[in-house]
């Protein structure tokens, strides 16, 4: 089972919206998908409650069960799920760390501004500390129309090359 975690301690960058969109897109592509809401705010779970579609499956994982995440993912794989999307809280936490460790790929959403990209640094540092150097990617979100990808790449490059 492929596991994707949306993680950053920066709030308001669209982690939950991206998680829901990725889960729906994977389900429409024929995957058996589960989206797990690890955020105490519960927005992904609330979204799942309002849906009438059967797929993707959406469930909440309360804070007192976060330590069970590896076993839960293993059980979901045994049930035939092929993709798990994990939505995390917008804070640095044990749950976020567990979700990062469980991921084949951690997606770090950010808005395309220097301030927002700089705010991802604690998350990137945690990913590096967890040995995930090759298992994360940025997901630029809420990009204004007309801004070229080379402009965004140069901003990101300036931030991360100067901090390396």
Q: Is the pLDDT of residue 163 over 80?
A: no
Are 86 and 102 in contact, with CB atoms under 8 Å apart?
Answer: yes
Percent of the chain with pLDDT over 90: 55
Give, as one character, the DSSP assignment of residue 162: H
Tell me the residue range of the domain where 104 lies: 2-163
**CATH code of residue 99:** 3.40.50.300
Tally of domains within the chain: 1
Q: What is the pTM of this model?
A: 0.86
80-133: per-residue pLDDT in tens?
999 999 999 866 667 778 899 999 999 999 888 888 888 888 999 989 999 998
Are 122 and 29 in contact, with CB atoms under 8 Å apart?
Answer: no
């Amino acid at each position: 089972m492929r596991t994707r975690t949306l993680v950053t301690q920066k709030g308001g960058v669209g982690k939950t919206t991206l998680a829901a969109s990725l889960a729906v897109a994977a389900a429409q592509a024929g995957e058996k998908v589960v989206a797990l809401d690890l955020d105490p705010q519960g927005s992904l779970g609330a979204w799942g409650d309002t849906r009438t579609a059967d797929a993707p499956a959406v469930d909440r994982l309360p804070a007192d069960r976060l330590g069970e995440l590896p076993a839960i993912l293993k059980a979901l794989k045994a049930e035939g799920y092929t993709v798990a999307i994990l939505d995390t809280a917008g804070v640095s936490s044990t749950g976020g760390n567990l979700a990062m460790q469980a991921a084949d790929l951690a997606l770090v959403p950010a808005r395309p501004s220097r301030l927002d990209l700089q705010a991802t640094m604690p998350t990137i540092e945690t990913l590096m500390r967890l040995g995930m150097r090759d298992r994360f990617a940025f997901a630029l979100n809420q990009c204004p129309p007309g801004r070229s990808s080379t402009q965004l790449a140069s901003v990101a490059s300036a931030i991360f090359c100067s901090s390396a």
